[in-house]
Structure 1
């Protein structure tokens, strides 16, 4: 249920559960500053629609200051020329700061309130924050950016050095985990970076800026600019930006790719995924039903690897759906700060309205809505997790970024594979079968970045493995090693033999 939010002139001292939200500030060239009000728009409580803070957006002068500071530091070369051990020590100091002074509590509560993700999930993400910086530091200490390889005339230096200033654009879903991963990776690479968080969930970025400031990183190494996509567009098109890491929607990814194409600026794009979950007739249906419910409810269905299409063998469809609906009936959909809630609201009214339009479109295509989760008596942006049955597969090829998934049946493995590869997106896949040899064989043929078998989880399942995007799901790979190396180019230096003139 939902009611339109009320308006307010200024909520800069907004509180929740008796605690103030972090003040909305930029961090530019080593200094905090307050951006201008953003057209009287407000951040709202996803649970109630009530306003929390007036949104703020960087002006052109602030953006230019951030670009200039990053460019100057890179031109000086001091940050790039630090040894890996020296940069690792800086990252460890950031991690130490983030591990104390209630950072996790402030971040998790702010993220829950603004994004709608339940506090149990945002708390886990916030507590992982120091580990992200420690992981990047460990990668540097292992010497991965400075190696010696054999050459014909002695050892050859194989160095990875930063392209230059990097623009990091983080989304409103998972702002802490995604934002921190980008920041730690860029800093580890020696790339001065500018973080542009989502205008809807900026608080974890502000808290990271505070920790980085206290850790004493060089001015210009990390900067934070608040605002919407228009300020990101200004920075993407600036020639001082030498790499862009973006997580968000397909239209935004396409715009960034076009802006970067002429000058071949490296781009790392993680966009979206209409992720397929395949249930074979020999699957453990209780296990599969749990995975389906998780895929619909984790982060309120608002994450890039959420369930998009359920592909189930026709012989077990009805039994499986009964089990899924039984689980969904036990899901407590409620306030995101309630420790007992299993699922919270959508992030804001625009997202709520979009999901309603998606459901209307699917029902107009013949879809039958299946849902069993009671709605709470709250005026926020709540939508119960919903399966949509009876649609044609051609009508469900596009991603619905919310707690909604289509259901399709198949008769055999060949038909299942056609369905599984039947979209232009390829981020994640899931396979349930008690015959693991069969499951692996099928998963290897799925055109997607990763496939998890007989389980559904938020984090990666293999240490050191990348998160890859295929098709319209993006470009490039993410992970500790992959993301750090994205911000760098190879430089190979060594003594060479002299070939004879004339090719003799």
Structure 2
């Protein structure tokens, strides 16, 4: 049984029966059987379905967004935006997949030689709870437009969202089997990965979970894309626009109550402006409203689960015990729900818990750097490598970006995912890319074709 708990109250709001073995087998068969005809629709036919998905999402945003607010505590104003972003993703690939996957002519000794991009079959997406609609479309839209069918294994804590996404595709006219949610317990996913009807795997989640998925996929010689955790640095140098940097870093840190892999987590500030910038952050964080995620005035909702909240508090208390200063928050609140206050920790080092572990919540960590080289060294001193940002002049920012060990870097802007641009990490943050032209190429057969006769 999958049980959804409202993190605002801590009470169960939905129970969904898990799929049994026969239902799992039927889903895998349906996806495999649907794939050839889905591919035969071509880019135009597949695009019509994805555009209908986008239209349905937009037309029903007021019914879909509250599911996220109820099941994982996303503030309503962010939930509405997430549904719109999911629609944009579907639309983007409907409009651009054909160009992204156009055959590539390569000169050789053939009369004509080229690479064409063919679907693999059925792709399994194993997804987390923190952005149910966006991550579903981020996974599915490029894979579907490439001619694959998709099976989504959602996080067990958001079953209502998963059922709604299934309905979106059905109402949009997607053929049976093209997109299916598989409501199973997490331990049961290993057998699905191993099933010969699954040709590739996309996983978003923790590095521990990603390691397990990657091991199983590798044992079956199946390609995988992993988007894992991060301890993402934001470097702020003395020549930055400090107010713009403080505004953006604050937003980046508290989106989804800080429960985002690419949120700014370690704010590394040049010594000359450290005290000034920390105070700017404190002022902005102090103004945020923590409360009922159903209210449009709420900036920060609850943590999705109590075990996550307890771990967050452990990270704060251990970091303060190691010598960090707590300038804001840091106390576990009483009352219903899984709320945690916006917290600012100063004078943190990479040896402290909040400096080396991923902090998944509204905790901002500041570190002091003597200069840009020291800041760069601190930024790279982590086992993660997902995303980063740099605040300085454009020229210095671009120079530093090439030296930052991360899959994506923003110079004087917020780190975000965008259907037009590739996203992914290095080191323990994963491998492979999602989105953009690079993402759609992850789950295709780049088939070389040599046409004779041989030329002299």
Same fold (TM over 0.5): yes
Distance 1:172 1:189 in 2: 25
- Verify: 1:266 aligned to 2:223, yes or no: yes
- Verify: 1:347 aligned to 2:308, yes or no: no
How far did 1:328 drift? 1.4
Q: Relative to 1, partners in 2 of residues 1:297 and 1:375: Cα closer, same or farther, differing over 3 Å? A: farther
Partner SS for 1:477: coil
- 8 Å Cα contact 2:110-2:454 kept in structure 1: no
- Verify: 1:54 aligned to 2:33, yes or no: no
Partner SS for 2:287: coil
**Matching residue of 2:443:** 487
Q: Relative to 1, partners in 2 of residues 1:379 and 1:344: Cα closer, same or farther, differing over 3 Å? A: same
Distance 1:67 1:250 in 2: 27
Distance 1:218 1:154 in 2: 39
- Verify: 1:124 aligned to 2:84, yes or no: no
Q: Relative to 1, partners in 2 of residues 1:81 and 1:155: Cα closer, same or farther, differing over 3 Å? A: farther
How far did 1:152 drift? 5.0
Partner SS for 1:194: strand
- Verify: 1:432 aligned to 2:391, yes or no: yes
Residues 164-192 of structure 1, C-alpha deviations (whole Å, 9 max, x = no match):
21101121111111111212122111112
Q: Which moved more, 1:219-228 or 1:325-334?
A: 219-228
User: Which ranges of 4 or more aligned residues in structure 1 deviate by more than 6 Å?
Assistant: 373-377
**Matching residue of 1:409:** 368
Residues 114-136 of structure 1, C-alpha deviations (whole Å, 9 max, x = no match):
22221111101112333222211
Match of 2:6 among 38, 45, 58: 45
- Verify: 1:81 aligned to 2:40, yes or no: yes
Distance 2:402 2:107 in 1: 35
Q: Relative to 1, partners in 2 of residues 1:292 and 1:83: Cα closer, same or farther, differing over 3 Å? A: closer
Distance 2:175 2:429 in 1: 35
Distance 2:348 2:378 in 1: 13
Q: Relative to 1, partners in 2 of residues 1:344 and 1:470: Cα closer, same or farther, differing over 3 Å? A: same
How far did 1:148 drift? 5.5
- Verify: 1:106 aligned to 2:67, yes or no: no
How far did 1:244 drift? 0.3
Pairwise mapping of residues 194-343 of structure 1 onto structure 2 (< 5 A)? 194-343=151-300
- 8 Å Cα contact 2:100-2:440 kept in structure 1: no
- Verify: 1:171 aligned to 2:128, yes or no: yes
Q: Which moved more, 1:185-194 or 1:54-63?
A: 54-63
Q: Relative to 1, partners in 2 of residues 1:202 and 1:481: Cα closer, same or farther, differing over 3 Å? A: farther
- 8 Å Cα contact 2:329-2:344 kept in structure 1: no
**Matching residue of 1:448:** 406
RMSD of aligned alpha carbons: 2.3
Pairwise mapping of residues 376-387 of structure 1 onto structure 2 (< 5 A)? 379-387=336-344
Distance 1:150 1:85 in 2: 29
Extract unaligned runs of 5+ from structure 1.
Answer: 1-36
- Verify: 1:423 aligned to 2:379, yes or no: no
Match of 1:464 among 416, 420, 424: 420
Partner SS for 2:357: coil
Q: Which moved more, 1:60-69 or 1:423-432?
A: 60-69
How far did 1:374 drift? 10
How far did 1:59 drift? 2.0
Match of 1:96 among 44, 55, 64: 55
**Matching residue of 1:473:** 429
Partner SS for 2:77: helix
- 8 Å Cα contact 2:253-2:263 kept in structure 1: yes
Residues 224-270 of structure 1, C-alpha deviations (whole Å, 9 max, x = no match):
11133123222112232110011111111000110011232110110
Residues 352-382 of structure 1, C-alpha deviations (whole Å, 9 max, x = no match):
1111122222223222222159999862211
Distance 1:351 1:130 in 2: 29
Partner SS for 2:202: strand
- Which of the two has greater helix per residue? 2
Q: Relative to 1, partners in 2 of residues 1:117 and 1:266: Cα closer, same or farther, differing over 3 Å? A: same
Partner SS for 1:478: coil
Residues 49-69 of structure 1, C-alpha deviations (whole Å, 9 max, x = no match):
122112432222211221222
**Structure number, greater radius of gyration:** 1
